[in-house]
A and B are shown apart, each in its own frame.
Chain A
Amino acid sequence: MNISRTLATARRVLRQLSHDPRTIALLLIVPCALLLLLYFVFDASPQAFDGIGASLLGIFPMVTMFLVTSIATLRERTSGTLERLLSMPLGKADLILGYALAFGLLAILQASAATALAVWALDLDIAGSAWLLLLVALLDSLLGTALGLFVSAFAASEFQAVQFMPAVIFPQILLCGLFAPRDTMQPVLEAISNVLPMSYAVDGMNEVLHHASVSGDFVRDTVIVAGIALLVLTLGAATLRRRTP
């Protein structure tokens, strides 16, 4: 591992994005627009908005970073730049952490915009600190980056890569407690939701929503999300091969 190579990779990814302002605009505006939409959907019941809004703040970064990373990594594989990089003295960890760093930075911007809008303009009523919401959002985005990187190894084309979104992310959204509390689900589904990382991301958001101070459950939730993100990043590194058939 080498810090300068990691930073150079992060800077390169950000430079690529800087040539694509529309993507940046979409990344920042879409979550805000959806929150606004939700606010008016729950026009008559602001409490319902509090619950779902906080959960969404945890879901957005994961979904967008999953999509962005899986496409970016797939491009890297199909354009030959990955083969070129791996024939150079670049550690796999340098590449992966470079991506995580660049997309993490982007996720901070995205989560800040969405959280600021929700808390200040849309009166999202949270008991805890908005900084904790941001922390969970950042960890979620890392999880999305990790999952995107990992599944891109199993996609041969962009078509396949985007199909992994409904396959990998949708079940987690359905089971994370957004639609029904997890302990009221059919027991098998509840057991499955217990091993899906998004459940803990959403639980973490809800802890901040209901508790003024950092609760033990919040710490547990964030540690689990961060741990799974690290685990999947390591699995993703294993899919990068210097020698290919």
Chain B
Amino acid sequence: MMNKSPGGADPTLTGLGTQSAQSGTGPEGTRPVAIRARGLGVVRGGRTVLDSLDFDIHRGQVTGLLGPSGCGKSTLMRAIAGTQAKVTGTLDVLGRPAGSAALRSRLGYVTQAPSVYLDLTARQNLDYFSSILDPWLNRSDRRAQVDRALTEVDLTGHADALAGNLSGGQLSRVSLAVALLGTPELLVLDEPTVGLDPVLRRDLWNLFHRLADERGTTLLVSSHVMDEADRCERLLLMRSGRILADDTPDALRGHTRTDTIEDAFLHLVDAAKQQEEATR
């Protein structure tokens, strides 16, 4: 179903992995850096939403961005996608400052609310966005690209249904499919699995890992559901505009001596609170 794209029909699957090693090398022995933040801050309406964040996100990996709603996940993703105004500090994406015009075709960004045209069919939506991303594609290649994206999110059966008539989960998959067009090097996905049934969630996570393994795509996936943490190779835990932890799921559980990421998160929150009170 979602695990294999039609054999041979996809020219983009091979050869892209090697490209990702071009710019920005991280510490010795690790993968190159895709996103580099130093002192990253955002103030919205007088409130500090992101408070001088420092982190690196590595290429070809699935990184989970976890934290309670309202902790600044979406703002961070908007900053990376280049749609957030008033970003301070350093934020480099694929070796360029976030929001650079050159990044617009290399990055796929999916907002939390599905952003597609409700008065077009799923296929017409993809067809339009594909012609914006890649206006010189000929008709049959465009069709193949759209079909591939529809297959990847398991929507081929609803391709010609009006988006406005689709269910919430189907609609968010149309929105996700748009981001898969044009084979971006970096995918920024804001809560892509919210409201989906367990089978679909598993299939989507499998798709994310396949993109990372086969195409070398870097994925940053946010969620407020802690049990999705184990599906990520690396985690950024956030709370009220700060990063609580930046580690692998195993290491997180290990050094907090907990069994689940949820417990690890709670442990870290309590520790942070104690520290805040101690310094007051």
Q: Which A positions have Cβ atoms within 8 angstroms of B?
A: 2, 4-5, 8-9, 11-12, 15-16, 19-20, 79-81, 83-90, 241-245
Contact = CB atoms under 8 A, between A and B. Distances in A.
Contacts of B45: 245
Interface in B86-104: 86, 99, 101, 104
Given A16-B119, A242-B99, A87 B135 contact: no
Please give me the 4 A-B residue pairs with the lowest Cβ-Cβ distance, nearest first. A80-B115, A4-B135, A8-B131, A243-B85
A68 to B, nearest CB: 13
Nearest to B99: A243
Interface in B124-145: 124, 128-129, 131-133, 135-136
A69 to B, nearest CB: 15
B21 interface: no
A17 to B, nearest CB: 8
Given A4-B136, A12-B117, A243-B99, A83 B131 contact: no
B178 A84 contact: yes
Chain B interface: which size bin?
20 to 34
B258 interface: no
A83 B115 contact: yes
B40 interface: no
Contacts of A5: 131-132, 135
Contact of B109 (A15, A16, A87): A87
Interface stretch (B59-67, B76-84, B216-224): B76-84
A84 B109 contact: yes
A80 B111 contact: yes
A231 B162 CA distance: 36
A169 to B, nearest CB: 25
A84 B178 CA distance: 10
Contact of B132 (A79, A83, A85, A243): A85
15 contacts: A2-B135, A5-B131, A8-B132, A9-B132, A16-B119, A84-B115, A85-B132, A87-B82, A87-B104, A87-B109, A89-B104, A89-B133, A243-B85, A244-B84, A245-B45
Contacts of B104: 87-89
A53 to B, nearest CB: 34
Contact of B131 (A4, A16, A244): A4
A242 B82 contact: yes
Interface in B32-90: 44-45, 81-86
Nearest to A2: B135
Contacts of A242: 82-83, 99
Given A8-B135, A83-B111, A245-B45, A88 B117 contact: no
A218 to B, nearest CB: 39
B103 to A, nearest CB: 9
A81 B115 contact: yes
A5 B131 CA distance: 7
Contacts of A85: 132
B116 interface: yes
A87 B99 CA distance: 8
A181 to B, nearest CB: 44
A2 B105 CA distance: 15
B166 interface: no
B269 interface: no
A89 B115 contact: no
Contact of B117 (A79, A86, A90): A79
Given A15-B124, A86-B83, A89-B104, A81 B117 contact: yes
Contacts of A81: 115-117
A2 B107 CA distance: 20
A243 B83 contact: yes
Nearest to A244: B85
A12 B128 contact: yes
A243 B84 contact: yes
Nearest to B129: A88
B226 interface: no
A16 B44 CA distance: 34
